[in-house]
A and B are shown apart, each in its own frame.
Chain A
Amino acid sequence: MAAALEIAGLSLRFGGLTALNALDLALKPGEAIGLIGPNGSGKTSLFNVLTGHHAPDAGSVRLDGNETAGLPPPRIAALGVARTFQNLRLLRRLSVYENLRAARHARAPWREALWQTPAARRREQDAMISLLALFGLASKTHEMPEALTLVEMRQLEIARVLAAAPKLVLLDEPAAGMTPAETDRIIRAIAEHLLPGRSAIVIEHKVQLVTALCPRIAVLDAGRKIADGPAAAVLGQGEVRRSYFGAASC
């Protein structure tokens, strides 16, 4: 089977700093891969390139055979890439409902900017509210994001990814700041609703989450891939232990 995502020789520099260094990574359709690595190793930068926020300095990114490296973010989003944000990126001035609906505007025809039939609007409302219900947020539909807990905000971001109906899902530390119990809940939500039928890259420092969701793990260190393989094997490697757990435990 052809790869769903094929990254080859990808490099990204910020001035003198090399955030990504000749990175190769391929994902099979439906595959979920865990991406780990110490702080500043380039994980978020990879997502920024994959979503078009940064244009890479070298290399290629193929999504279902389409070259996306250097395309502007809206074009890449249209090809089916959606992400969450390590530092959360919700629209403070819009309700939870409008935050979720933000994922749907681009794929709707332009005339709907002016006129959405009441029936279409109701259909969309029902779809959005049942999405929120999946994450236990139905009662918060009309709240502002600031009324949500951290866990709920992360869940809303994940629901927003789902609302975009993407082919490739990019999750940036979806359980950051969560207790083990909360982490368990988010693992279940991701596994049940987000991963089936999609390719995914999951950045996470929590081994509990990575191993639960991703049979395969890749490790970044200073922008380079230093390991890639079955989760158990990768986590057992001495180099990974030194570079990753050594750095992360400080």
Chain B
Amino acid sequence: MDGYTISVLSNIGLFAFLAISAWILLIAGEISFGQQAYFAIGAYSGGIATAVWQWPFAAGVVIAVALGAAVGALVAWPTMRLSGLHYAIATLAFAELTRASLNVFTYRRDIEGFATGPDGANGFGDIRWVYEAGIEPGAYLAIIAGCLGAVIGLVALMSYGRGMARLRIVGEDPILAAMQGLSVTRTKIAAASLAGGIAALGGALYAHLATYIEPAQFSVMTGVHALAYGLIGGLGTVLGPILGVLIDIGLLESLRVFAGYRMIVFGGLVVLVLIVRPRGLLDEPTMRRVQAWLRR
């Protein structure tokens, strides 16, 4: 594989975490414009762990996921009482608050003669663990793919068990869900925590690939894209948001056919899909047909 292909695939993989994160909340019936905040939390905490504290990479990833999941649950606790538009705006506000806080967040330490760590709006560079460990881009792509595989596997387990069914029931009809004995608040907090952890995982992986991160990278547009990926790819399967990323980054960006007009083409595509298939290309009826076909 050449360097360009590897970098596109890495990008697709990293965005997939964010897209799956937003997708999980869509399944639970909530629209979040703020998953980029957890991506940022993962990027910063993972970066601090390896670059400032000099922890091993795996420990940095674990702390990022734990922090993303914890903040996700903590933010969900008061906001889950909000519904629809109000929840969406609250997530947006939280994400912008996070970005604004990172703009003034400075935490630097002297590492081998260099001041290392986040420096407010100037960003956070020298997250060099991957390069110092001599991991090639191809090998790092394999790490990204492995982590993404683990997330897909987790969702597959939840689909086999009761987790996804719980999320879907609460997402479709919270009143019925409650009368079936499911705690709507607890289910949604669990979903938000899961979504936060997954986005943070992507963020930690991103920080170590980019080596330099800054608050401006985690803007609202990032979150809007993440949401759109699930909406066009489809809500019927976890492969839906990944399909969305593939369409946007894999097709529109990489083929460069729409160079300069990509945002317009993508925006138009989202609108078109939402009109024709409100729950995306791989929506629930499509997946039902696939399953019926597999059963034969």
Contacts and interface: CB of A to CB of B under 8 A. Distances in A.
A98 B165 contact: yes
Contacts, number: 93
Interface stretch (B88-96, B177-185, B237-245): B177-185
Given A91-B172, A98-B165, A112-B161, A103 B180 contact: yes
Contacts of A72: 178, 183
Interface residues of A, number: 33
Interface of A: 51-53, 72-74, 77-78, 82-83, 89, 91-95, 98, 101-103, 105-108, 112-116, 121, 142, 144, 164
Interface of B: 154, 157-158, 160-163, 165-166, 168-169, 172-173, 175-184, 190, 279, 284-285, 288, 291-292, 295
Contacts of A114: 154, 157-158, 161, 163
A114 B154 CA distance: 8
A94 B172 contact: yes
Given A77-B179, A114-B157, A105 B173 contact: no
B179 A51 contact: yes
A121 to B, nearest CB: 7
Given A108-B162, A113-B162, A93 B181 contact: no
A106 B182 contact: yes
Nearest to B279: A93
B234 to A, nearest CB: 12
B181 A116 contact: no
A189 B19 CA distance: 46
Given A105-B166, A114-B163, A73 B178 contact: yes
A134 B147 CA distance: 45
Given A74-B181, A114-B163, A121-B160, 9 more contacts: A52-B178, A91-B169, A98-B165, A102-B177, A105-B166, A112-B161, A115-B157, A142-B288, A164-B181
A50 B154 CA distance: 38
20 contacts: A51-B179, A53-B175, A72-B183, A74-B181, A74-B184, A93-B168, A93-B172, A94-B169, A98-B168, A102-B176, A105-B162, A105-B181, A105-B182, A106-B182, A114-B157, A115-B161, A116-B161, A142-B291, A142-B295, A144-B288
B169 to A, nearest CB: 5
Contacts of A52: 178-179
Contacts of B154: 114
Nearest to B176: A89
B173 A89 contact: yes
A107 B181 contact: yes
A142 B184 CA distance: 26
Contacts of A51: 179
Contact of A113 (B163, B175, B179, B288): B163
Nearest to A115: B161
Contacts of B177: 102
A147 to B, nearest CB: 10
Contacts of B162: 105, 108, 112-113, 116
B143 to A, nearest CB: 24
B180 A102 contact: yes
Contact of B181 (A78, A83, A94): A78
A52 B284 CA distance: 31
Contact of A95 (B169, B173, B178, B288): B288
Given A53-B175, A73-B178, A106-B182, A113 B158 contact: yes
A213 to B, nearest CB: 22
Nearest to A107: B181
B160 A74 contact: no
Interface centre among A89, A106, A115 (most CB of B within 10 A): A106
Given A89-B173, A106-B182, A101 B165 contact: yes
> Which 5 A-B pairs give the minimum distances between C-beta atoms?
A106-B181, A77-B181, A113-B163, A73-B178, A116-B161
Q: Which of B168, B180, B190 has the most CB of A within 10 A?
A: B180
A145 to B, nearest CB: 11
A144 B287 CA distance: 12
A84 B138 CA distance: 56
A91 B176 contact: yes
A74 B163 CA distance: 17
A246 B158 CA distance: 54
Given A113-B158, A115-B157, A116-B162, A105 B180 contact: yes
A108 B182 CA distance: 11
A142 B292 contact: yes
A186 B182 CA distance: 28
